[in-house]
Chains A and B, each alone.
Chain A
Amino acid sequence: DGGITQSPKYLFRKEGQNVTLSCEQNLNHDAMYWYRQDPGQGLRLIYYSQIVNDFQKGDIAEGYSVSREKKESFPLTVTSAQKNPTAFYLCASSIKVGGRLDGELFFGEGSRLTVL
């Protein structure tokens, strides 16, 4: 079945360690996104990518890094520079239709990161 797979589902990290969250999609979607969600809050955009080998910062990119070497993969690294990394991380993708990205977003099931 087509969809978005995020791994791991749960992750614990010690302070000062970098950690990479995986996001893979087999929907052949052009664009991919990373969001962060804190308890009781809406989603905030970290990074997004419209095409392979290109990505842009969202509203809260500090302390995070991404790469887009393949169309189907968009990993997110939470670095030690991120001051408060404990959160629920969501990856999404969308297709480009007629050169535009205005259709629906498809989300993964999320990765919950806890810093000990």
Chain B
Amino acid sequence: DAKTTQPNSMESNEEEPVHLPCNHSTISGTDYIHWYRQLPSQGPEYVIHGLTSNVNNRMASLAIAEDRKSSTLILHRATLRDAAVYYCILRAASNTGKLIFGQGTTLQVKP
């Protein structure tokens, strides 16, 4: 399974946009890029996923580089409830459907 690399932690101010980066230089042509987030002592929550084109939903936007070797999760206006661990994951399209989680990025949001 291809690997992703994320910063261990990031900080943001409330009401400001947040850009969470993810590198996945070994991504294959059929891997989907998934993002999940997890609050303390809860199960992860799906945020967004994409293949090649940028994607938007009510929670966030996903910007995918043209070569697909990196992507960025964008939270347009951070709130205190967005403080969580954010996981960037590659999911093969074959498939078993299994996701391999890395360490993720811990996002702190300051009021």
Contact = CB atoms under 8 A, between A and B. Distances in A.
B13 to A, nearest CB: 25
Contacts of B81: none
Interface string B73-111: 000000000000001000101111111111110000000
Contacts of A103: 49
A58 B100 CA distance: 10
Contact of A102 (B36, B45, B91): B91
Contacts of B100: 45, 59
Nearest to B97: A101
Contacts of B103: 41-42
B98 A48 contact: yes
A29 B73 CA distance: 27
A43 B44 contact: yes
Interface of B: 32, 34, 36, 41-46, 49, 87, 91, 93-104
A43 B89 CA distance: 11
Contacts of B95: 100-102
A94 B43 contact: no
A45 B34 contact: no
A110 B104 CA distance: 18
A42 B102 contact: yes
B3 to A, nearest CB: 12
B101 A43 contact: yes
A58 B42 contact: no
Contacts of B87: 42-43
Count chain A CB atoms within 10 A of each CB in B32, B46, B49, B104 and give the residue with the most: B46
Contacts of A35: 101
- Closest 5 pairs (CB-CB, A-B): A101-B97, A107-B43, A104-B46, A42-B101, A43-B101
